[in-house]
Copies of this chain bind each other. A is one copy, B any other.
């Protein structure tokens, strides 16, 4: 069983850990000083305070204070968790539709973040699918592109394990990020982190901060493998010079 946990992480580190935890389907416990706002069937706002945020892989979100059996704010199962850093601060947002409801937690300090992989049934289907996608690519690397050679899976990096690492026909390092379903801009951000980490590791100067010119061919390439991408995600991919390969976890039957 795997538990990752970070003590007093930076907001950006917390973001990375959170995104990875969402990806793995982990049960997350996050402690920190935050404000909470909810809008939906009713509306509420909570001022700054130390609280415990629990994020479940089934979409449930719970904000607990030091008192009471009930969470002070929550989101029911079936919601979608999103994490981002806005103005340097970690923001976790959980949304659902029918009815439309949004829970937003803005952290001023993140004191402790733990993510635990839970032995559960529901998850196996999902993970199975991404597993399938990886297996498919390892068996037929040309599905990514002609001449691609996988070298390693779950290759460790300072930004966490990358799904597939390999080289292209020119011998250029390639980071491949796998997603089992249609993805938004978040996935591009995740891929970018791995690419950046690998560039640093290889001692390659990164292009300017938050700017990505397609003038210099990047010494590390990024490829996002997913059935499809949203428009915004496609823009980001283009901005950073990454490629998208449209591929389903399972071959059409």
* Contact present for A5 and B112 (CB under 8 Å): yes
A41-75 CB mask vs B (1 if < 8 Å, else 0) is 00000000111101011101010111111010010
A contacts, CB < 8 Å to B: 1, 3, 5, 7-8, 25, 27, 29, 31, 33, 49-52, 54, 56-58, 60, 62, 64-69, 71, 74, 76-77, 109, 111-112, 114, 116-120, 122-123
Ranked 9 nearest A-B pairs via Cβ: A66-B118, A3-B111, A58-B67, A50-B118, A29-B29, A27-B66, A31-B116, A112-B114, A60-B69
A-B contact pairs, 24 of them (CB 8 A): A1-B33, A3-B7, A3-B112, A5-B5, A5-B114, A25-B66, A27-B50, A27-B64, A29-B112, A51-B118, A54-B54, A54-B64, A56-B64, A56-B67, A56-B68, A58-B67, A60-B68, A65-B118, A65-B120, A67-B120, A67-B122, A68-B77, A69-B77, A111-B116
